[in-house]
Structure 1
Amino acid sequence: MTITVITPVLNEETFLRLFLERVTSFADEILIVDGGSSDNSISIIKSFMRKHNIRLFSNKQGTAYTDEWNESEVRNFLVDQAQGEWIANIDADEIFDDAFESVIPGILAHTTAHVLRFPIINFWRDPWTVRVNAPNDERWSNDIIRMWRNGIGIRYRDQKHHCTLKGPESDIWALPSERIEVPIYHYHYAFGKKFKFNDNRRGDVNLYDNIGDPDWSFQHGEYEIRTVPFSGQHPRTIRNYLGI
């Protein structure tokens, strides 16, 4: 079974080398759309293209999370280009657990599911703290669909940003699915700049104007920002990056 990884990027130099080191270990094909990066993202991608099956496309759309930004257009373009039997949509700040390579081949060979669900671990403030669900804020510790069979009509809904998947005739969650006990780790809020421009729409760190450093102690009153210590082990790629 072959796997195509699809990823849109915009100024992801903090994560791209880690991301590409990880996905090139299991992906048969990697498709990337750059949204107009002004940092070192393109040069990092091109350095990996010399040895790996990576196709890079360009679709400059303006500032992320504004009306100029059309995420579903970009992601559906990548879906249309994918040649693998399975598609894995993995963002540049997400890293699969090291168990992925040993577990997934057997699952793909025998599963009757159309979509695969994975537990997601969202780091918050640093690589040792995990944000979890709280009342009125149940979006941090849920399963997440990150792989599906290619060619059966699964696409992204027509949404400007944070678009969601849909099945050919029904909701994506109505399709046959299987939960895979291999975590995917989300490092966006763990290191690097921690917050991208215009990526604090709910005000969780009091940076509505996108200026300054995140205030990790800020509580805006609509819900609790609940965290727990990380009790697992980071993937080898991240351990090397952290020097542990």
Structure 2
Amino acid sequence: MNLTVITPVLNEETFLGLFLERVTSFADEIIIVDGGSTDNSIPIIKSYMGKHNIRLFSNKQGTAYTDEWNESEVRNFMVDQAQGGWIANIDADEIFDDSLDAVLPGILAQTTAHVLRFPIINFWKDLRTVRVNAPNDERWSNDIIRMWRNGIGIRYQDQKHHCTLKARDSDIWALPSELINVPLYHYHYAFGKRFKFNDNRRGDVNLYDNQGEPDWSFRHGEYEIRTTPFSGQHPRIIRNHLGI
């Protein structure tokens, strides 16, 4: 059973080389929609297209993370394009643990689960610190659906950004699922700029004007920003790239 990875992109030059090196090692097809990148994202993607099954599309929508930005439209377009028997939504700043490669053929061949859940590890301020759930802010250390069986009506709900999945006739969580004990690591806040334009809607890093460096000591008024030391091991591609 083959796998299509779908990925929206906007100015991801920091992560794209690492992301593509990793997903091309296990995906049969990669579909990317660029939202109007002005950095080196497109040349990086094109450098992989001759060697791998990568399909690149463009959909420039305006200012990111505003009402001009329709994330569900982009993601559902990729779902419609996917030719694999399974679909995985992996963002450009996310890397699967090395252990995925050994278990992936088996989990895609199984016939019982329609959706596959994975633990997500969200790094916060550096590669040694993980952000975890806190009261009123339970979004950081949950198991999340990142793979599902294609062709059974799973799509994204009509939401502008941070859109969620839905089943054809029921809640997505009502479908048969399986938790795969393979972490997905989210590096957005760990290295590089650690912050993207207009990506502070929740006020967690105190940069409402989108300028300057994140304030990692900032205290949010509505919830605690709770962290814990990272006790695992980064994927090989991250260790090699950063020399850790």
TM-score normalized by structure 2?
A: 0.99
Q: CA deviation at 1:222?
A: 1.0
Secondary structure of 1:130's counterpart equals strand
Tell me how far apart the structure 2 counterparts of residues 107 and 39 of structure 1 sit (CA, whole Å): 36
Tell me how far apart the structure 1 counterparts of residues 115 and 161 of structure 2 sit (CA, whole Å): 22
Does residue 46 (structure 1) correspond to residue 46 (structure 2)? The answer is yes
Q: CA deviation at 1:111?
A: 4.2
Q: CA deviation at 1:221?
A: 2.3
Tell me how far apart the structure 2 counterparts of residues 155 and 109 of structure 1 sit (CA, whole Å): 21
Tell me how far apart the structure 2 counterparts of residues 26 and 9 of structure 1 sit (CA, whole Å): 20
Equivalent in the alignment of 1:79: 79
Q: CA deviation at 1:170?
A: 1.1
Tell me how far apart the structure 1 counterparts of residues 193 and 212 of structure 2 sit (CA, whole Å): 10
Q: 2:2, 2:108 within 8 Å by CA — same for their partners in 1?
A: no
Does residue 216 (structure 1) correspond to residue 220 (structure 2)? The answer is no
The amino acid of 2:240's aligned partner reads N
Tell me how far apart the structure 1 counterparts of residues 110 and 79 of structure 2 sit (CA, whole Å): 23
Q: CA RMSD in A?
A: 0.7
Tell me how far apart the structure 1 counterparts of residues 111 and 63 of structure 2 sit (CA, whole Å): 40
Tell me how far apart the structure 2 counterparts of residues 124 and 43 of structure 1 sit (CA, whole Å): 28
Q: 2:63, 2:69 within 8 Å by CA — same for their partners in 1?
A: yes
Tell me how far apart the structure 2 counterparts of residues 55 and 200 of structure 1 sit (CA, whole Å): 30
TM-score normalized by structure 1?
A: 0.99
Tell me how far apart the structure 1 counterparts of residues 110 and 64 of structure 2 sit (CA, whole Å): 39
The amino acid of 2:205's aligned partner reads V
Tell me how far apart the structure 1 counterparts of residues 30 and 140 of structure 2 sit (CA, whole Å): 27
The amino acid of 1:177's aligned partner reads S
Residues 133-186 of structure 1: CA distance to partner in whole angstroms, max 9, x if unpaired?
111111101001000000000000011111100001111111110000000000
5 Å-filtered alignment, 1:1-244, equals 1-244=1-244
The amino acid of 1:86's aligned partner reads W
Q: Percent identity?
A: 86
Secondary structure of 2:106's counterpart equals helix
Unaligned 5+ segments in structure 2 are: none
Secondary structure of 1:107's counterpart equals helix
Unaligned 5+ segments in structure 1 are: none
Tell me how far apart the structure 1 counterparts of residues 32 and 171 of structure 2 sit (CA, whole Å): 26
